[in-house]
Structure 1
């Protein structure tokens, strides 16, 4: 099932480092949201455009619409309380998570978390 809010509204013109981080092989994006949600309508189209610009194939983007009570597939399993929530996984393990709102875009926030993870792994 898909959400209208996950349709890119325009081309993404963000930072090349963000695009590179999001487009890495082996990453899967699990996106919880709803077309009725104001935060989702505001943030998810730009995130979808960033994923598109990064060349992330559709089969690596899983969409999980929730109802008015924020109930839906995977909500309990992943502890989703607020939307939008985006979980990034590699080999089935969670490596980054965006929840509801941050001072930067979803794409920038996740790219920063992925970069921090890489830095810790190299230390």
Structure 2
């Protein structure tokens, strides 16, 4: 099952560093959301456009729709309480997590955390 809100709105013209971080090899994006959710309808289409611009293949984006009681696939396993939530993993290890409302858009928020994590790993 997929989320209509994960259809890109338009072409994304964001920062090159964001596209580079999102498009790094080995990253998997797990997206919890719902088409009935206002925050998801507002935030997920732009995030989907950013993933598309970064060249992230569809097989590395897992969509997990939730019902109005916020129940669905992986909710308990990943401790999902708010939507949208996006978990970024590499080799089954969590690299970054965006939960509902942060101070910046999903793509920029996650890209900064991915870059920070990779910089620490290289140090």
Q: Within 1, Cα distance between the matches of 2:6 and 2:52?
A: 11
Q: CA RMSD in A?
A: 0.6
Query: Which residue of structure 2 lines up, in the alignment, with residue 109 of structure 1?
Result: 109
Query: Which residue of structure 1 lines up, in the alignment, with residue 95 of structure 2?
Result: 95
- 1:122 is displaced (CA, Å) by 2.7
Off by >2 Å, runs of 4+ in structure 1 = none
- 5 Å-filtered alignment, 1:6-85, equals 6-85=6-85
What is the CA deviation profile of residues 77-109 of structure 1, one whole-angstrom value per residue up to 9, with x for unaligned ones? 000000000000001111100000111110000
Q: Secondary structure at the match of 1:119?
A: helix
TM-score by length of 2: 0.98
TM-score by length of 1: 0.98
Q: Within 2, Cα distance between the matches of 1:47 and 1:14?
A: 11
How many corresponding residue pairs?
123
